[in-house]
Every structure is written in C-alpha cells, then in structure tokens.
Structure 1
C-alpha cells in the first residue's frame, strides 16, 4: 500500500500540473520557510535548497507520508529575480527580461516515509522579445505577475512575450512534470 502524498506547496499551478499526469495529492501542506537567498547564492542553488528545506519541514509534520516539494527561481546570470509582490518589482523584472534570455530553475524534492529521498534540479531557458512600454504596462495592469518568480506567468499573457524556450514548459510554470513523474515512480508511488 502506497503512503499518502503530501504536496508541500500553496501553489494552485502545481496542483493543476500534477493533475495533468494523474497525480492528486492527499493533502496540501505548505511550509513557511525563509526564502531569502544566502550571500553569494546563485539561482540554481537557491531553487535546490528551498525545495529541500520545504520538503524537510513538511516531512517533520507528516512522517508517515511521501512529501513532494518544489521551488522555482528565475535568474539572469548570477542574479536572482524576486517573486514580485509589488508593481515596481514586476516592472523591474520585465525591464530586465525584455529582449534577453534568462533561466528558470525548479528544484523538486521528494521524501519517502522510509527516509529515501529523490531530488532534481531542472533548468529551462526562456527568451523574451523586446517589450514595448505599452506591452509592459498592459501586462502589469492585468496583475497576473503577483507572487510569480521573475514577475511573470508563462501560462498566462506573458506567453505572448516568449520568442524562444529550451527545456520544459511545465518547469517554467512551476513543476517539471517529466522529472516529477520519474521521481514518484522511483520511490514506488506512481506505477509505470
């Protein structure tokens, strides 16, 4: 008998993505951790660390369950873009992303009740067209940038800005489905 699956995330997008591959968590148990980057921490290491810390925090609360956690970070070079909470932050992100490539990293971690762990770090490369002031202002007015890494949601209107994508689209949304399914199979939760 397989253990209950706990999703350690408050993201409705992650729930939707999991449903696409037939995975419905038994419970959603978001964890509160400090997501402040460490000094000199680069985007890929931040994504991996936050996923690990979220999974470990949830595993303490539900040791009988298989815990799945993820965190997505947008980076331009070594620079970590925020999860935009204000219009000013979102505008700064869009200005930085306009006309250039950036990387989207998602760290995914699963902890089985037996103590077995599986962790992946997935990177997708995204390039935005050069944004006009009108495009930027219209996107900001829509509000879908709130709380999104890098100040945009690729599954929304911002998809119209993407001129190039290399890697997993679901990773940019917030959960790389292929890698997540492989992890759950490897831990015996998903059948092949």
Structure 2
C-alpha cells in the first residue's frame, strides 16, 4: 500500500501554490495600463469637471488654513490630497478624481476603513477610507483595484468616492488609520 502524505504537506503545498498565484497576478496588475493626466484644457462637459486639472508644476506646499499636526488634507479646488506628518512636512501629494458629491470644507476624521468592495459605479475598489457624509452619500477615498482611475461617477448617480491612482491609494491606506484627521479646504 502506498504511503499517504501527511496533512501538513498538503497544507504547505497549497499555501505555496496560492502565494505563487497571487504573486503572478500582482506582477500582471502592475504591468497593466496606468492613468496619466491629460494636458488638454477642461471642456464644458460634466465629465471634464471630474478630471483633475493638471498644473505645470505640482503644488507641494500644504494649503494655508488646513490645520496643524498629522493629517490628510483634501483640496476641492485643486483636486489634490496631501499626507502631512506631525512635523508639518508634506510626506506625499497627489491628484484625485472626486465623485459627484463633495464634502463641505472643514475638519473630519477617518471613521472607518474597508479593504475592498464594489463601488456604486460598478468598479472594484480597495483601500476605502470613509470620512464624511453629505446629502445621504458617504464620502470616502479609494482606488480602483485594476489600477485605472476613472471618475467615480455613473450617469446620474450621486457618488462620494474620491479616487486616486493605485500607488497613492496604497500610501493613503498606510498613512490614514481610523481617527486620522481629514481637513477639507476649498
């Protein structure tokens, strides 16, 4: 009678196989298309308003009146986020694609986090960080799982998603825990 493999051998083999599969998928995802900012001037259409406005040189200075201490700063007008450390230094800044519902300027805190779900526009999203609500719509930062960063808006749907590129979403997820201050400025 042939010898049976012990259960630990099966478990180890399955675990190694799963890790290999996830690694292959991660490499493939990283090689996929990455969004780039358009240099075209915004058009007078609703969809153009949801795209970040490119600038000649990315602003690195944290907006005045955005508070003090460790925080996330979100500028509605610049469609940009800053991750600010306790020494008031900007650790990272990046453009975002806001939804159709914007939070009012003010101070909020990250109230909850969700690793992944399907957005109201049908896109698979990850690194969801809820921080505000307006008109019954939750406002949260997130990024598309596939690395694309389309505006989080389906035709006629109110959305509170503030999308960003995948690398920026990963950085924000690592920076912002529940209770982290989010300052929204004009």
Is TM (by shorter chain) over 0.5?
no
Higher helix proportion (structure 1 or 2): 1
**TM-score of the superposed pair, with normalisation by structure 2:** 0.27
Higher strand proportion (structure 1 or 2): 2
| Structure of higher CA gyration radius | 2
**TM-score of the superposed pair, with normalisation by structure 1:** 0.26
